[in-house]
Amino acid sequence: MNSQVTAADGTHLRRALELAERGRGRVSPNPLVGAVVVRDGKVIGEGFHAELGGLHAERVALEDCRERGEDPAGATMCVTLEPCAHQGRQPPCTEAILEAGIARVVIASEDPTEKASGRGPGILRDGGVEVAFAAGAEASAARLLNQSFRKHARTGLPLVTLKMAMSLDGQTSTAPGDSRWISGELSRAMVQRWRADSDAIAVGIGTVFADDPLLTVRQASARQPVRIVFDAQARLPLDSRLLASLDQSPVLVVTAPGADPGRVRALEAAAAEILVAGGSTRAERVEAALADLGRRDVTSLFLEGGRTLASAFVAAEQIDVSHTFIAPLLLGSSDIGSVTPGPGRLTALESSAESVGEDTLITARYKEW
Ligand SMILES: NC(=O)c1ccc[n+]([C@@H]2O[C@H](COP(=O)([O-])OP(=O)(O)OC[C@H]3O[C@@H](n4cnc5c(N)ncnc54)[C@H](OP(=O)(O)O)[C@@H]3O)[C@@H](O)[C@H]2O)c1
């Protein structure tokens, strides 16, 4: 049975969206999900998916009802993603909802995964539960919340977010080739949060040669993303800070099929993982690498430059979101070039600008999943 979504459902869905956010950085490759159980206008249970392998939001919310001494039978559940109907790391949520006697389920977004795609709502309807799908602001907020999960489910590829920092005259490196301090302290703190939200971080070998970056999240409790270097010829120095910090998180080197076997063996002996990406152009090798990363359950890739690698992603049209910091500096150089040189054009669906300390941050979204 279908039912209409009311204004009160919208309020509870917005609360469920807030709850879902609390799982950020901890549930990938699973989606962020929040759920609220309501009876006679009163919230009797709340929950969110808090960690990979842990209970799903729907079950957490039902447990919460019981802990509060409330019976969820006959209540409405407002949930940000369609309840699952398959056995995964956890049993199907549809079973828990039917067993609890929930009368009505309001869903903010569909699950595009092949094994889901409407099966859960179908099972609920067959079990006599009223099912309603939200539209408008709550539906689009629920889809935005899970862009990496949705892209991975629909294409098998990770969501790619490009971060760049540049001066007012378009420079991405300071004179000695060190880009680390173009943006201000608050901007760099934001970068730390984006890193922590990503499954993987990528740079080109040019950036490793110039900056010898660590690419870790400087927060003790954060999950460390996999660190990826695009390095066709396997030139990553064995004494780089990346390889010296393998105890903090893995390093994966994306090489081309023609890379020197001796250098590849040396990197493997240093405990780096190797991903061989084929293709006749850099853009094709980006596409091959993304497909391989998707198969490894990398659902989000945070691309930190430099501009040669960024341009290959643009040429492959594989940027979903970009964050560009513009710092109040002129770095004046004789070789001012494009930030992302090379072919390719991506037009943003939407963009916004905000001040972050002394910097300006422009965020653009190119695709919606
Ligand atoms: N301001 C910022 O936001 C920012 C961020 C990062 C870096 N930077 C600065 O950018 C500079 C480095 O930029 P860069 O352009 O020289 O280097 P880069 O983009 O970091 O690395 C480029 C190199 O990556 C390798 N690569 C491997 N596979 C590739 C693929 N599929 N597509 C593209 N490249 C691939 C290529 O060398 P092989 O063919 O040998 O593999 C290429 O020369 C540094 O000065 C750094 O400080 C600035």
Instruction: For residue 136, count other CB atoms closer than 10 A to its CB.
Output: 10
Half-sphere exposure of 362 (CA within 13 A, CB side): 11
* Confidence at 165, pLDDT banded by 50, 70, 90: very high
- Shared domain check, 322 and 280: yes
The verdict on the CB of residue 72 being under 6 Å from ligand 1 is no
The verdict on the CB of residue 308 being under 6 Å from ligand 1 is yes
What is the count of structural domains for the chain?
2
- Per-residue confidence (pLDDT) for residue 90, from 0 to 100: 79
Mean pLDDT within 174-198: 84
What CATH number should be reported for the domain holding residue 243?
3.40.430.10
**Domain's final residue, options 118, 145, 172:** 145
Mean pLDDT within 196-209: 97
- Per-residue confidence (pLDDT) for residue 142, from 0 to 100: 97
- Gap between the Cα atoms of 103 and 77, Å rounded: 8
Q: Please check the confidence at residue 331 and state whether its pLDDT lies above 90.
A: no
Mean pLDDT within 22-37: 95
The verdict on the CB of residue 164 being under 6 Å from ligand 1 is yes
- Per-residue confidence (pLDDT) for residue 337, from 0 to 100: 58
Q: Which amino acid residue places its CA nearest to atom 34 of ligand 1?
A: 309
Residue whose CB lies within 8 A of the most ligand 1 atoms, among 230, 231, 274, for a mutation test: 230
**Cis peptide bond prior to 23, omega within 30° of 0:** no
- Shared domain check, 133 and 175: no
Q: Within a domain: residue 2?
A: no
* Confidence at 341, pLDDT banded by 50, 70, 90: low
* Confidence at 345, pLDDT banded by 50, 70, 90: confident
- Shared domain check, 212 and 65: no
**Domain's final residue, options 110, 145, 180:** 145
Q: Please check the confidence at residue 180 and state whether its pLDDT lies above 90.
A: no
Q: Within a domain: residue 1?
A: no
**Domain's final residue, options 145, 177, 202:** 145
Q: Average pLDDT, whole number, for the chain?
A: 93
Picking from 12, 169, 135, the residue whose alpha carbon sits closest to that of residue 78 is: 12
Residue whose CB lies within 8 A of the most ligand 1 atoms, among 164, 203, 205, for a mutation test: 205
- Per-residue confidence (pLDDT) for residue 86, from 0 to 100: 85
What CATH number should be reported for the domain holding residue 115?
3.40.140.10
Residues in a beta bridge with 348: none
Residue-wise pLDDT for 208-254, tens only, equals 999 999 999 998 888 899 999 999 999 999 999 999 999 999 999 99
* Confidence at 2, pLDDT banded by 50, 70, 90: low
